[in-house]
Structure 1
Amino acid sequence: MRLITKMIVLAFSLLLCASSLSLADEKLAERRPLTVGLMPYLSTRTLLANYQPIAAALEDALKQPVQLLTAPDFDTFVRRVLDGEYDIALLAPHYARLAIKSYGYTPLLLHKSPIRGVLVSSRAQPLASFNDLRGQNIAIVDRSALLVIAGAITLGENGLTEGSDYHFIETVSHSSALHNAISGKARAALVSYSTLVLAAPELQRDALLWRDIASIPGQFYIAHSRVPPARQLAVKAALLAFEKTPEGQLFFEKTKHGGFREPTAEDYVLLDKMMPETRRLLGNTVR
């Protein structure tokens, strides 16, 4: 009887310790800065300035410092996400799906507006047809970007084969790809529509949107597993509350992201189809 009593007391003590550790972890998570990794699809200065309102809203709601971070290029950013360097990450949907399926991340929300892939040329050298791209270079950010995977399919459907009819040339950001097209280093750029909207005035002045060639789900917000579940829910609630504020409405009007929504089964079906190609193109970046 005494043995049973001792075992019950021991079990109860262990539960109390586990509960105390869990609460301690949550308190620690609240004290240190919440790191938010932003996919580098714009120049660093523009990217950090655009997402500062979200950082301010999270700080206010969570009562915790928030640090916006990015990376010099897509490959480095994806590697940092998969290595767990950010608490929260904002990234392209296929990278997010990979992080969710294989690296323990939790999906929070995604932007309502689909990511529009557009072909842009210099205003001085407009495109008239897909044949104008034959034998030319098309500036992109990264070959593993879902926008580029989908864009290559559309180009193929219009009679152009990568490697023989045209070549992709990689740059460090969508802004850089846009600059390549305008300056004549490439015949066109395959970028997101939001890049064009958020580009510097001089780039917008000299760029000409020819046509949409891809549409994919919006960027995902995902949380690393070290962020306690209650904290993940608090981040999600803060983002949804931000959407309803004047600052949030201004943010979504400026970025054309359309607000937030929950991921759907249909999103995952589409993204899972892209997983083999995503893994192949990322190569040694993924395990």
Structure 2
Amino acid sequence: MTSKKQSSFFNACLTCLLLLTSLQIAYTSISSAEDLPVFTLGVIPQFKMHRMHAIWQPVIKNLEKRTGFKIKLIVPNSIPEFEGRLLSGEFDFAYMNPYEVLLANKSAGYLPVAFDKSRKLQGIIVAKKNGDIRDISQLDGKDVAFPSFNALGASLLVRAELKDKHNITVNSRYLRSHDSVYFNVVQGNISAGGGVQKSLANQPSMLQSKLKVIYKTQEVSAHPFAVHPRIKKNISQHFYQALLDMSQTPDGLKKLERIPLSSISPAKLTDYKALSNMQLHRYYSQ
């Protein structure tokens, strides 16, 4: 065999070897990806769907890198749908309001694992900035909008305090999301609306400028991440550690702040027991 033919033969073999190696690497990568455990994360839908995914998908991707397992984000179309699926135990992990964790613990055994201890949840009532409503006393007998029947800060706390503390009866209207409540108040379709500070802060500045806060409820512990009892303890601990590590990097914290979470602390069921004394079941709809 001539030197030229030997060289061509060698190059051909080398090409085949590189091709086989590439295919093996690709196959191994695909197999590894398919072998990763998959866990679901259900999230309470506080905003329109495109905004929810814009907020949560970067968080999910970061958590997947840190945990080594796949996380399937589930954002139901409405808060009642989310609650139904949560209370039936569908989600492996879930991000929910504080009252829901008490209900989910009772119905499906969920336990809180993480929350932002530095934040508190507080309901607010907003009215149109240049409108006639200046004080909650003017809301008696008026139409007031809420994102859902069972939203804790934006609905349960607000309705409970209006009735129990101020003896004010309103005509409640349920509009499926915080965004819809704020929009309809600005449009003058409703006298006032229930919300929370974080959802108001996430509204476009133009819309915020047309609203005023006329009432604030008492504060309660913030939204927790909770885990279903079928998830092994080491997986739950790994999930918590990934959240904590994420919060301690500038890029990770920036992503979490859009939820918003500014710090991560371990959560216990006792962090939410005070809610049991408020008798919110009188205003909650199954």
Match of 1:16 in 2: none
Contact 1:218 1:257 in 2 (8 A): no
TM-score normalised over the length of structure 2: 0.79
Q: Report the Cα offset of residue 157 of structure 1.
A: 5.3
Whole-angstrom distance in 2 between the partners of 1:149 and 1:271: 11
Contact 1:130 1:158 in 2 (8 A): no
TM-score normalised over the length of structure 1: 0.79
CA RMSD for the aligned pairs? Answer: 2.6
Match of 2:213 in 1: 209
Offset from partner CA, 1:28-75 (integer Å, 9 cap, x none): 997243221110111111122112232122101112222221111111
Match of 1:11 in 2: none
Residues 245 and 72 of structure 1: CA distance in aligned 2, closer, same or farther (over 3 Å): same
Say whether residues 1:142 and 2:144 are aligned partners. no
SS for the counterpart of 2:166 is: coil
Q: Work out the percentage of aligned pairs sharing the same amino acid.
A: 22
Offset from partner CA, 1:81-104 (integer Å, 9 cap, x none): 122222110000111122123312
Of residues 237, 241, 254, the one that matches 1:237 is 241
Match of 1:18 in 2: none
Say whether residues 1:130 and 2:148 are aligned partners. no
Contact 1:53 1:247 in 2 (8 A): no
Contact 1:36 1:67 in 2 (8 A): yes
Say whether residues 1:156 and 2:163 are aligned partners. yes
Q: Which has the larger radius of gyration?
A: 2
Match of 1:6 in 2: none
Does 247-256 or 90-99 show the bigger shift?
Answer: 247-256
Of residues 32, 48, 57, the one that matches 1:43 is 48
One-letter amino acid of the counterpart of residue 92, structure 1: N
Structure 2, unmatched stretches of 5+, are: 1-31
Say whether residues 1:278 and 2:278 are aligned partners. no
Say whether residues 1:90 and 2:95 are aligned partners. yes
Whole-angstrom distance in 1 between the partners of 2:64 and 2:43: 16
Of residues 185, 191, 194, the one that matches 1:187 is 191
Contact 1:182 1:203 in 2 (8 A): yes
Q: Report the Cα offset of residue 114 of structure 1.
A: 0.9
Offset from partner CA, 1:112-152 (integer Å, 9 cap, x none): 21112111112231632222212211111222232222212
Of residues 222, 236, 251, the one that matches 1:247 is 251
Task: Report how many aligned residue pairs link the two structures.
Answer: 253
